[in-house]
Each structure stands twice: as C-alpha cells, then as structure tokens.
Amino acid sequence: MNLNIALLPGDGIGPEVIDQAVKCLQAVEETFNHTFVYKEASVGAIAIDKTGNPLPEKTLQLCKDADAVLFGSIGDPKYDNDPSAKVRPEQGLLKLRRELGLYTNIRPVKVFPTLIAKSPLKEEIISGTDFTIYRELTGGIYFGEKKLNAEGTVASDLCEYSEKEISRIAHLAFKAAKNRRNKLTLVDKANVLESSRLWRKVVTKIGESYPEVQLDFLFVDNAAMQIILNPSQFDVVLTENMFGDIISDEGSVIGGSIGLLASASVGDENALFEPIHGSYPQAKGKDIANPVASILSAAMLLEHFQLFEEAMAVREAVDKALEKGIVTPDLDVNSSYGTNHVGDFIANNIVDSSDDDLNMNDENIGLGKSTII
C-alpha cells in the first residue's frame, strides 16, 4: 500500500515522539513491503513563532492532501501563562479538526498487565480494564459562540448540538460496540442540560437499530467516579466534547502513565492520529519522553487503512518492550533507556520479532544502536 502521511510534530516533545513513530512505520514498510511518503509542516506555538498563525495555510493544505495526519503535541508555557494572548497554539488544533471534519475522537483505555503496579489504583480494581471513549470533537462548548462584556467581568460560552452532529458519532460508537462486547454507555448531564437531553433522545432512538448492543446512561459526575471505582465495567463510552476531554484524561492515568495512550480523530474523509499527552515542555530535548503513545497512534493509523497485521506487529513490539523493561523513566525511575532507545527497540522488533535472532540485542539497546535506517 502507498500512503501519503502528513507529519505535524508540533511543540515540546512532539518532534521527539513523532520521530519514533515514523521509525516504526518505516519498519512496517520494510517488513510488509509498503511505501509511505512523509511530509512535515509546523503547527502550534512553533508555527506562531514562524508565521504568526498556529495553523498556516500551507500546513492545512498539506493535511487536506494527505491520506492521514500523524500529530505530535501542541502547547507552550508562554501561552499557557498568558490568558490575554489573542493567538494561542490550541487554536491551530481546533481549527484543524474543524477544517478536516474530524468529528469523532477515539481513545482506547487499556491496562497493560506488566504495568499494573504502576497504576495509582489497586490491581483488583483495574484488572481487565479495556474500554474505548468516543468523544464528539467539533461541536459543543469548545466551538460555540463566546462572549465577554465590555468591562471584562461577564463571560459566556454557548454549548450547542444538532441532531446530525450527535447521530453521526453515535452510529460509529454503536458499530464499535458491536465489534467489542456489545455495551455502550452514554455520558451526559441530562438532569441539568438541554443539550444533554437531546443527546439522550437521539442516542436512544438510534439504539433501536442496534438491538444487540446494551445501552445505558450515566451522568458525567457519576461516570467520573465509576471510572475510578470500577473501570472494567465499561466497553464503549460515548459523550460530548467537553465531557469527553475530561473523562478521557481521567481514564489515561489508570494504566500508570499518560504516555501510553493513543488516539484517532476521524471524519468522513480525513483522519488524524496523535498521543493524548501534552507537549511536556519540561522534558523537551532530554531524551526522556515516552514514545509509546505516539507509536500506538501509528498503529491506529495502520488499522484505519485495514492494515491489521501490520498494526498487530507494532502492538506486539510495544508489548515486548514493556515486558523486557525497555521503557522510559516515567514507567521506571531506574531506567537508563531514553526516547530513542525505546523507539529503536520497538522498531527492530517489528522487523524481527524472534527472541533468538533480534537485529538489536539487549547490549545494543543499552548502547543506543539500531539497525533501522
């Protein structure tokens, strides 16, 4: 298969983790005889510094012309600490989602057995956790009309949804549940919000077309509590934009590190894949950033194009790295392995997964040597 992939490394550790994801995609090319073409562009704070625009037109056009987008991270402290800034890095990502029509964000939350001890929750609580959050991505309060009075003392953000916006993501979530464990949970605040009551009405009606899928409902405050008390009860979670933003980050800590979780943002014509962690500017350039989430995002990219065997090869290589303790310091404070070492190990195991004849043995890993060019 030939794919054109737009690379948007972004800010902070974004370029470092994207490099490892590309390294693994190149290993897939070598192993499975595919051809991927990569073209890079700037977005976020680095784009503001270069052009004054967090999403330059050249970047947007590159993404529109690509088969898929592989995204790093976005954000910079100089904007985080300046609430008066009129141009912000995050505006670039929001515009990119809107322009590409990426209305569904898919975030798997899965506990790796070898890392259970790293979770802040007890093993008996998180064991068996494996659910996916479907978050609506281009509507709701983040995209609604925003007002601030002349005195700067009263502000409002409009949360607005249409039946069409709800329906298109609901169908995707129900189809996902059919391919998993046939359970879908809608998270809303229907006891208070009119927009949430519309969500319940539309999703309930659509549920009649998927009789094999058990549909239940949770208010968002209860859902946040249940994710901590009993996360294994969930299969597919469907929710609106802001609620999804919050509970998906909550879910990310169950596995022990936010650096483990990937995501996909898809629409009818375009798709973007990114780790859910932030730009982590404190780690920039120190070779300590966890690249696993970015690498698993690349695996989701492969799955999007029906390259299931290739995606499985990436996931199995990641599993092997975790099992052998080839991890960054966020997962093991005593680890001597850096971002590049972990990426090298995973990429080499995609090319040759045999235990007895690795292209890169443990000694080479420690020295940071790789056979992948």
Catalytic residues: 142, 189, 221, 245, 249
Q: Which amino acid is at 316?
A: E
d(CA 196, CA 188): 5
Contact between 7 and 18 (Cβ < 8 Å): yes
In angstroms, the first-to-last Cα distance of the chain is 20
Quick one: three-class SS letters along the chain? Answer: CEEEEEEEEECCCHHHHHHHHHHHHHHHHHHHCCEEEEEECCCCHHHHHHHCCCCCHHHHHHHHHCCEEEEEECCCHHHHCCCCCCCCHHHHHHHHHHHHCCCEEEEEEECCHHHHHHCCCCHHHHCCCEEEEEEECCCHHHCCCEEECCCCCCEEECCCCCHHHHHHHHHHHHHHHHCCCCEEEEEECCCCCHHHHHHHHHHHHHHCCCCCCEEEEEEHHHHHHHHHHCHHHCCEEEECHHHHHHHHHHHHCCCCCHHHCEEEEECCCCEEEEECCCCCHHHCCCCCCCCHHHHHHHHHHHHHCCCHHHHHHHHHHHHHHHHCCCCCCCCCCCCCCCHHHHHHHHHHHHHCCCCCCCCCCHHHHHHCCCCCC
